[in-house]
Structures are given as C-alpha cells and as structure tokens.
Structure 1
Amino acid sequence: MKIHFIAIGGSAMHNLALALAHKGYQVTGSDDIIYEPSKSRLNEKGLLPEEFGWFPEKISTDLDAVILGMHAKPDNPELFKAQELGLQIFSYPEFLYEQSKDKTRVVIGGSHGKTTITSMILHVLNYWDVKVDYMVGAQLEGFDRMVHLTEENDFIVLEGDEYLSSPIDRRPKFHLYHANIALLSGIAWDHINVFPTWENYVQQFQIFVDGIVKGGSITYNEEDAELKKVVEASENTIRKFPYRTPDHTVEDGTTFLETPEGPMPIEIFGKHNLNNLAGAKWICQQMGVDEADFYEAIASFKGASKRLEKIAENRTSVAFKDFAHSPSKVAATTAAVAAQYPNRRVLACLELHTYSSLNAEFLKEYQGALNPADEAVVFYSPEAVKIKKLDAVTETQIAEAFQREDLKIFTDPKDFQDFLFGQNFENTTLLLMSSGNYGGLDFEVVKKKFD
C-alpha cells in the first residue's frame, strides 16, 4: 500500500509512519516543521521530507490512503487536493482501527495515567514474550517504536486519548477504536479549549463506555466517584471490573507492594502509580497473564518516559522530571514525591504551558495541587500565552488560583534558572513538572547540581 502522511513529524504520526514502513508499506509525508527526535528517526528510515512545506503535487490517485495529523490546518493545500481527488482520508485513530478491525482491541483511557498503565501492560507482556500490536504515548525501554502493527498478532493495546482525532474530525480519538477490552483510570477536566464545560467533558467518557463492543469489558478505578457513576449508569451489555489502590508500604524510599507471597519491592512509587498498577494487573489477567506472573514482571518496571523520571541522584538528594501539567496530575505527582521522601525538603516547580493551564478561569482547578511540597514554584511564559492567542494571565490570578501564600512565580526564564541553580539541594527532592522546557532550561546543568 502507498500511504501519504500530512503532518508526518508529530510524535504519534511519525511513529505510525515508521510502523507502516516496517510493515512493508510505501510511506511518504509532508510537514512545515519537524523537531527532534522525530526528525532524526524519520531520516534514519528514509522518510524525512526532502523539503519542509506543503506540496499538493505529492497527492495523486496512486495513493491508497492519506493520513491527516492534528498539526495540519483544515485549509491545508495537500488536504484540499486529496479531497478533490476523492482519496481515502483517515485520521490517526481511524487508520489504527482499520489496521486492527480483526484483532481484540484493548483500549486504555482516562484523564490521567493512561500512558503509564499502557506501558505497564506492554512491559509485562514483553517480559513474558507475549507478542501484541500496540500504540503508546511514550518511548518505552526495550521497544523500538511507540507504534507496532502486524498482520498476525491477535491483540492490539491502544492508549486511548480523549483529544480530537484530526482538524476535520472533531471526535475524541478513543471513540474510534471500538474497544473489546477497555480501562478507564479516572475523569478530571482537561482540554477546555475543546470541552468548555465539565459536563461536556464527562459526556465523552459516557460515549466511550457505551461504545465498547457488546460482550466486552470495562475495567475502572472505583475510587473515582464520577467515573464509577458513569460506568455503573451505562446500560451497555459488557462486564464491569472495578479496581482500587492496592495495599503498600514505604520504607527508606522504597515502596513495597503487598502480594499473596508477601511484600514485594517495586521501582515505581506514589498512590496514583499503585492505582495504575492495579488496573494494569486486571487487563493483563484478561489477556492471559496470571497474577503471580504479573507480579514477577512488574517488579522490574521503572516507569514510562517523562513520567516521574529520575534524572539525578546522590546520597541525600534526588531530582525528578515529570510530564504532569493538568491539576489532577500535578496534585498526584507532588503528593507521591512528598510521601516517598517524607524526611527531605520537597521543591516542586510547575510550568504552566498548555491551553487549559494558561486559561484564567481554569487556573482555579489548581487550588491546593502544590500544597504537599515544602516549597512551590510556578513558571509561565507570557510569550507562550501570546503564541496560543489567549487572554493574558497575571501573577495575581495565579497566586489567587493556587491559594498558597509562599508561592514563587517566575515569568522570565533567566530569573527562574538563576533561582533554581542558586539552590542548595542538600537533603532535597526536586520535582520539575512540565510539558514544555521552562523557556530553555538545560537539564544537563540541573543534573550536575546533584553530582
């Protein structure tokens, strides 16, 4: 098959392009800008566009399909040409469904934890050499790509994002996968630029549960009251499996999970990650991995990339980088670090970087999120607000939203870096939370502070 990608450089899109090339498809693509690591990975496989930009002449009737990425605009000239020629145009999730129509689709959704849960499942399956197709939102240790597609594997494990499918398809991605086996980790309002009300956001999860293939199953976190209500109210003829945070203890910075064989030390920590683990165990059992085998495999799971990723450590101190940006994730991650290192100073730094977090009204959702930390810092770039064409937020609005009198707020990258590099990290846990990079923070310099 000949496939053309419009906006091939995205994190998800370039991984799908690599997966299809690996499968033997002829792949071409276009984009107006491509960042690392996508650029190098595409170049290595001969898939990097020779020239950046949009070229309608690349679109012709000998293409079997066009895959449209979210980075493209609805008026993209290559999209116009594909529509004019009547070509099959797929969004990313639509094409994944086409590739997996004859497989058992395992879809992991929820406002938080879905990447980690998907990663846990794939780690366990890989440990026991169980071959599956997959799509996950982070690069995993031991896996070449974030997407893997075959003709022969029976299962496909899909991370189910609730964000939009493409510029011309406003449906959430996870609606299009038609799950046979599903998991939902929780519901916490996000993506307010698309789902402007809480009710509208919750409705997307109701649609997802009602869309699970009849006779399938939903595994859900019963500690989330809203999610519990959504699942229990669904009249879909599916099996319902609740899970909750398992018993565990923390001793000298190590978390021990209670198992039928006794306490077992694990690499990950935090109540939210233990909750994720419980959900992953249920899914693995439905895929044929028994409980004892799950525990043996999960003991070596170190976490998904950018999720509570340990970047530096010495005898008395440690630094973590985390992708957390939504209020629920920030609160869970900060609480986890404080609980894991109760006898150390916790310095938590959060960059407000997304559309939601830079919205003055939505900011109120962050109240108390940084409270478990001994010291709390918020960084945001007024320039990022302008680029996203949002109304300006002020330091006063941020201070009022977080409701923490000693909160330090920085808007200049240099001022933030001067503050950070001027710290004494003796007996300290540093937590850097962002989906950005604090205006150009050099994490290698951060690491050296812990040498």
Structure 2
Amino acid sequence: MSQVIHFISIGGSAMHNLALALQQQGCTITGSDDEIYEPSRSRLQQHGLLPSETGWFPDKITAQLDAVIVGMHARKDNPELVKAMELGLPIYSYPEFMYQQSRQKQRVVIAGSHGKTTITALILHVLKYHKRKFDYLVGEQIEGFETMAQLTPDAPIIILEGDEYPSSPIDARPKFLHYQPHIALISGIAWDHVNIYPTWDEYVDAFELLAEAMPKAGILIFDESDDMLDVIGQKERTDITKIPYLPHPATIVNGQTVLLTKKGSKVPVQIFGQHNLKNIAGAMTLCDRIGITEEQFYEAIPTFKNVALRLEKLAESDQRIIYRDFAHSPAKVEATTEAVKHQYSDRKLMAVVELHTFSSLNKAFLEQYKGTLEAADAGVVYVDKKALEGNPDAITANEVLLGFDKPGLSVLTTPDELQSFLTKHHNSADVLLLMSSGDFGGLNLKALVN
C-alpha cells in the first residue's frame, strides 16, 4: 500500500490516527490544518507528520497524489479541497476511505448514542487477548493500543466504531452509512446533536437507514431494553439475522461487580453500572458471532480497564471517592448517575454535570434532562458564563432548574464558584461524580482531589 495521501485537517482525532496507521503500512503521508491540539500535535511530530506551519496550502495538492482525505474540521471552500476537486483527484471522507480499504474484510460496526466506544474497546480487548488478527477504528485512545486506527493488508476482519455525525464538509451522510457492515450492533438511541438532527425523528432515521442498508445475510445486534431499537429490530427484513440482548446478570461483592455466568461461575470485572452490563452483553453477543466462545470472553474480560474518562476514579480515601465521566447528553448523565449510586448505595452521592455542548445549551433541548439526576442525593449543574455571553437566546439558571426538575439543585456559572461550592460542601457527600465532555471552565481538579 505505497500510496501518496494528503490529509486536509490532519489534526483531528480520527484523522491523525488514520494518518499514522497508513504511514505504518508504507504510505507517504502529507497533511495540513489551521489548528492542531494535543495529543494530536505530539503524536504527529513524533512520526514526522506534523505540518511545518499551520494553515492551508493549495500548492501541496498536486496530480501526483493518489488520494485526498478530508476531515469535518475543513470547510466546503477550503482552498486545498477546492484545488483537489479542480484536479479531479480521488477525495474521501475518512469513513469512505476505511470502507475502500476494507472491502475484502468482514466489516463489524458498533453504533448507538451511548456505549459504542466501550463496546468497541471490549471487543478489541478480547480479540487482542486471544491474539486474533484484526483491523479497527475506535473513537478514543484505549489501553494496550498505540493508535485509534489500524489498517493492514492481511487482517480478515475490521471492527469499526461508527458514529452518526456527517462524513465530511462535502458529504452530509452519517459516517456509519459508508461502512456497509456484515454485522452491526446498535447500543441505544437517545436524541443528541440537535444542530445536525433538529428533531427526534430525523435522529432515529439515521439508525433506521443503517439497519436498512445492511447487505443480505447481515446480522443486526441490538439492545432489547431500548424501546426505539426494539421497533427497528422488529422491522421486516427476513434476509438478516436479528439478535437482541439484555444486561448481563451480575451482583456486587465487596464493592466489585461480578458477572454471573450460565454455568454458575463468577467473573469479576473492573467496570460497573447497568449501562456497562448492557455493554458487556452486547460485546459478548457480537464476539460469539466472530468466533469467540463464552469461555474465551470470560477469560479475557477481568483484565479490561474502562476507556479514559468513562467512570474514571480520580481519588479515593476511607471517607470519600471522586469519579469523573465523559457523560454530557441526558441518557449518559442518567445512566452514569444511576450506576454510581447503585455501586455505592449506602453512601451520599453528589452529581455535578456541565452543560456546554450545542445540544445541552439549547432551550428546547433542556427538558430532555428532566429526572436525569434523580438518583443523586445532591445535584449541581455548571454552565460557564463565557458560553452564554453575547447570546440573546442563552439559557437562564431558572430554565436549567425547570429543565432538570431536581429538588435542591444548585446552578453555578464560574469555575471559582464551583471550586468553592465543592470545597465548602465536601463533607455533605461521600461520593463526588463530575460529568462533562469539557473541563468545567478550567476547574482545578488537583486542588479538588487534595
């Protein structure tokens, strides 16, 4: 695979990983971007792929290129993209390119509003544990894997985390529609990304299209407890096999979650919560279809560590525990809060959630958060003042209180305010759960942990 490939917007999370994976396979890689953040910057630099200067340079686009891969960060009028189109070069979004490179492989796609990264990571962990050959694309850096993507000529199977975001600035189709999976797993549907899917129906349509686009003799695996998925799973398609799953049976022994197997044995795992028991069941159902037996799955699973920022334990003492989680959408906030409360049912839980995504700062969307913090003994919502300034339609503290409908909820708007609130009330909760895909406006976590 000695192609010459140029990346427009090489600094993206998936983009830079694909660039590294292709370089490992002997491709000549060039790239551009107008801003590159860590860890992409260091990783590109380490492999000699960091552009010498930021910005867009049409002279990098020549007829000698075998392909141009364009990321979502670029715009339609990007000068490099415009020139590539003028020259008639093959232009791909990264999901399109992944498909082109894996046409001869068995393609497995994990999709869903929540749980897809964890399920993908579980499957990759089990396959690696049993020394299977496989390629992959996953949305986060996971333990034991150098890159988030791998493409090799000889792996018979590829495991793809598929998301519903648009593919590229010139292709509005959801990324996962490009993969044409032989096996698809959908972990759950909960409305998100209102800037892309303004209505619930439009959001659900994307997942229906994924199920409908599967080739004949495909396998669709889905969470039976999700009402919407049950509807999709029961749709008339006699030429595909549908396999529903439910949360894996488990119990808690001395504060650790233990899986209960059909044969009566107990398998300790390092993750917890009902949502993770669903993730384990989904991964196990899928692994069964790609030649991993239940015994092999149970052998590998105790050493699986959670994906970064998924129920990550920041600190623990005899009196207190602090967790941090990536949860930000309503379904994730609710599942994560319930999981921590269930794991520590005899302790007081304070749950803190930051609203900072386009969806969560949308007035019409706020009501989706109703009841999501119900399992917590105390709730705090943080909305950074900077995110609201200059916006005439900005949400108000009162609208947040109405949206969450949580008695005694505190709404805070500056990191200092949040820091002093948590410090002042640290004796009123034994377990502190911080949920955000951001950083709470620069909250000093070190001081908080101390």
* Alignment match of 2:306 (pick from 300, 303, 306): 303
1:76 aligns with 2:78: yes
User: Secondary structure, in 3 states, of the residue corresponding to 1:57?
Assistant: helix
Question: What SS class does the counterpart of residue 364 from structure 1 fall into?
Answer: helix
1:123-272 superposed matches below 5 A: 123-235=125-237, 237-259=239-261, 260-272=263-275
Per-residue CA deviation, residues 369-420 of structure 1 (Å, 9 max, x unaligned), is 0111111111112423469x78311111111100013111111122112222
Partner residue, 2:14: 12
Q: Distance in 2 between matches of 1:18 and 1:426?
A: 47
| TM-align CA RMSD | 1.5
Residue 338 of structure 2 is aligned with which of 335, 340, 355? 335
Judge conservation of contact 1:382–1:392 (CA < 8 Å) in 2. no
2:360 to 357, 361, 368: 357
Deviates more, 1:359-368 or 1:263-272: 263-272
TM-score under structure 2 normalisation? 0.97
Q: Are the equivalent residues in 2 in contact too, given 1:97–1:176 (CA < 8 A)?
A: yes
Evaluate the alpha carbon distance shift between residue 5 and residue 364 of structure 1 in structure 2; reply closer, same or farther with a 3 A threshold: same
Q: Cα 1:236–1:107, aligned 2, differ >3 Å: closer, same or farther? A: farther
The equivalent position to 1:46 in structure 2, one of 45, 48, 70, is: 48
Separation in structure 1 between the aligned mates of residue 429 and residue 201 of structure 2, nearest angstrom: 44
Amino acid at match of 2:350: L
Query: What is the rounded CA distance, in whole Å, between the counterparts of 2:366 and 2:174 in structure 1?
Result: 23
Aligned-partner SS, 1:299 = helix
Unaligned runs of 5+ in 1: none
Post-superposition offset of 1:427? 6.4
Comparing 114-123 with 229-238, which one deviates more in the overlay? 229-238
Residue 344 of structure 1, CA deviation:
1.4
> What amino acid maps onto 2:147 in structure 1?
R
Give the superposition deviation at 1:317.
2.1
Distance 1:386 1:13 in 2: 32
Pick the aligned partner of 2:115 from 93, 113, 116.
Answer: 113
Question: Equivalents in 1 of 2:339, 2:77: separation in Å?
Answer: 44
Q: Is the 8 A contact 2:312 2:324 kept in 1?
A: yes
Alignment correspondent of 1:27:
29
SS at the partner of 2:433?
Answer: strand
Find out whether 1:286 has 2:286 as its counterpart.
Answer: no
Q: CA deviation at 1:425?
A: 5.3
Out of 51, 55, 58, the residue aligned to residue 56 of structure 1 is: 58
> 2:87 — aligned with what?
85
Query: What SS does structure 2 have at the residue aligned with 1:396?
Result: helix
* 8 Å Cα contact 2:105/2:155 also seen in 1: yes
**Deviation, structure 1 residue 167:** 1.2
Q: After superposition, give the CA deviation of every residue in 1:1-30 in whole Å (9 maximum; x if it has no partner).
A: 111111111111111111111111111111
| Worse-matched range after superposition: 296-305 or 221-230 | 296-305
How big is each residue's C-alpha offset from its partner over 1:112-141, in whole Å with a ceiling of 9 and x where there is no partner? 100000000011111111121000111111
Equivalent position of 1:377 in the other structure: 380
Partners in 2 of 1:112 and 1:356 — Cα distance?
15
CA change 1:22–1:390 in 2 (3 A) is farther
Secondary structure, aligned partner of 1:273: helix
Aligned letter for 2:42?
S
Mapped contact 2:260–2:266 kept (Cα < 8 A) = yes
For 2:370, the equivalent position in structure 1 comes to 367
Find the aligned partners of 2:169 and 2:421 in 1 and give their Cα distance. 40
Bigger drift between 416-425 and 213-222 goes to 416-425
- Alignment deviations for residues 296-321 of structure 1 (CA, whole Å, 9 cap, x no partner): 11112121111111121222322111
Any idea what SS the aligned residue of 2:374 has?
Answer: coil
Displacement, 1:169? 0.6
Supply the AA of the counterpart residue of 2:44: L
TM-score (normalised: structure 1): 0.96
Please give the alpha-carbon distance, in whole angstroms, between the structure 2 residues aligned to 1:124 and 1:230.
Answer: 28
Distance in 2 between the 1:209 and 1:272 partners?
A: 22
Q: Secondary structure at the match of 1:81?
A: helix
Question: Which AA in structure 2 matches 1:15?
Answer: N
Aligned residue runs from structure 1 range 89-100, under 5 A: 89-100=91-102
**Deviation >4 Å, runs of 4+:** none
Q: Which amino acid aligns with 1:11?
A: S
5+ residue gaps, structure 2: none
